[in-house]
Amino acid sequence: MPQFKTQILLITAAGISALTGCGQHDQWERVVVSGMVTYNGQPVEKGQIRFIPAEGTSGPITVDPIDLGKYDTKNTGGVPVGTHRIEIVGYNAKEYATASTGPGAPPVRQLLPKKYNSQTELKETIDLSQTEKTLDFNLMP
């Protein structure tokens, strides 16, 4: 009987591993993208970068934080191969650190113009010519 319980335990553990995975393993080929984001010559203190698949590109949206101007998509497994619309939001670090969170909380004030986020025209095509890609954004008012 103990051997049977061990087999059940191993099968259960294998099933959980298969479902949760050990990292970003899905159907999309990905490239790790990293770089710097500056606005008017200064690093964006706090923010977020979003790679949103454009028409004809399949895959999930990739969202990663910007901290002191730097971002990296390693934690999300990289950006799926294809063309992406890029949205960048930036916040004042002090306001961001003290902002209320949760339902009903006011949004943190956006420092970047809409042309870089909600009305962005930034696009980039990610291909498999590199396993990692550096993509810097020098944004101007």
112-127 pLDDT, tens digit each = 999 999 999 999 999 9
| Residue 18 in tokens | 């298969």
Decide if pLDDT at 6 tops 70: no
Give the chain's mean pLDDT: 85
Query: How are beta strands 30-39 and 137-139 bridged, if at all?
Result: parallel
Share of the chain above pLDDT 90, in %: 67
Residues 96 and 67: their CA atoms lie apart, in Å, by 11
Distance CA 105, CA 89 (A): 18
User: What DSSP string describes 54-119?
Assistant: PTT--S--EEEEEETTEEE-GGGT-EESEEEEEEEEEE-HHHHHH---STTPPPPPP-S-GGGTTT
Instruction: Give pTM, 2 decimals.
Output: 0.79
Look at domain 28-139 and name its CATH class.
mainly beta
pLDDT of 14 strictly over 50 = no
